[in-house]
Amino acid sequence: MVERATSSYHHGDLPATMVRSAMEMLDEDGNVELSLRGVARRAGVSSAAPYRHFPDRLSLLSAIAAVGYQELMTDLASRHPEPSTADELAELAVCYVEFALARPGLFRVMFTEGCDRTSADRVAAVEAIHVYLGQAVGRIFDTDDAAALATGLWSVVHGLAFLHLDGKLDTTSDIDVKERVRQTITALVSARLA
């Protein structure tokens, strides 16, 4: 038996509608378990409709992640289009953690769910962040391997985001979170070997 949608679907772009509906669900409840059927219901389409564009849950999650990476990149670049100082790098770290805390459901889909490695949109969105961070590191540090250093710094900031998300670091004060992230990155980039 085919489940009937609660309202008629009259949108021109079902994949975008599905992604938008899923992101709304994630923003409302960061712990929601997304399914094609649940997202279809939210989008107002039959439970079979999504399968024309998303053969499985993984492909939908990859499409959601791609949009999440694009939104994260937009947030980072709007904070500093071409970061060139350690202070600006620390501000990008703050922006990253703020994104994670403001949109925990989306952030978890981006980084803890499986992904379709053949999804051109997801791959391009991740690559844009890698290039942006690599160029920033190249402007800020004297290093022979900006890409490796950018990956290392991203890993630290990503760890800070999840430590805050998972309650391992206190999030009761936005000011304290920002200062903790700034201090961590500043200490890391200014440290010298003994």
pLDDT tens per residue, range 90-134? 999 999 999 999 999 999 999 988 878 888 999 999 999 999 999
Q: How far apart are CA 99 and CA 113, in angstroms?
A: 17
Q: Where are the domains of the chain?
A: 11-55, 57-190
pTM attached to this predicted model: 0.88
Tokens at 191, concatenated: 């440290």
Which letter does DSSP use for residue 32 in this model? -
CB atoms within 10 A of CB 16: 14
Per-residue pLDDT tens listing for the chain (194 residues): 334 344 444 557 899 999 999 999 999 998 899 999 999 999 999 888 888 889 999 999 999 999 999 999 999 999 999 999 999 999 999 999 999 999 999 999 999 888 788 889 999 999 999 999 999 999 999 999 988 999 999 999 999 999 999 999 999 999 999 999 999 999 999 988 88
Residues 44 and 30: their CA atoms lie apart, in Å, by: 21
Confidence (pLDDT) at 30:
87
**What ranges in the chain are assigned the alpha helix state H?**
14-28, 36-43, 57-79, 86-102, 104-112, 120-140, 146-165, 174-190
Tell me which DSSP letter residue 51 carries.
Answer: G
The torsion angles phi and psi of 101, rounded to 5 degrees, stand at -75, -30
Fold of 57-190: Tetracycline Repressor; domain 2 (1.10.357)
CATH class for the region spanning 11-55: mainly alpha
Give the C-alpha separation, 59 to 116, whole Å: 6
Q: What pLDDT sits at residue 193?
A: 84
Within 13 Å, how many C-alpha atoms sit on residue 26's CB side? Answer: 24
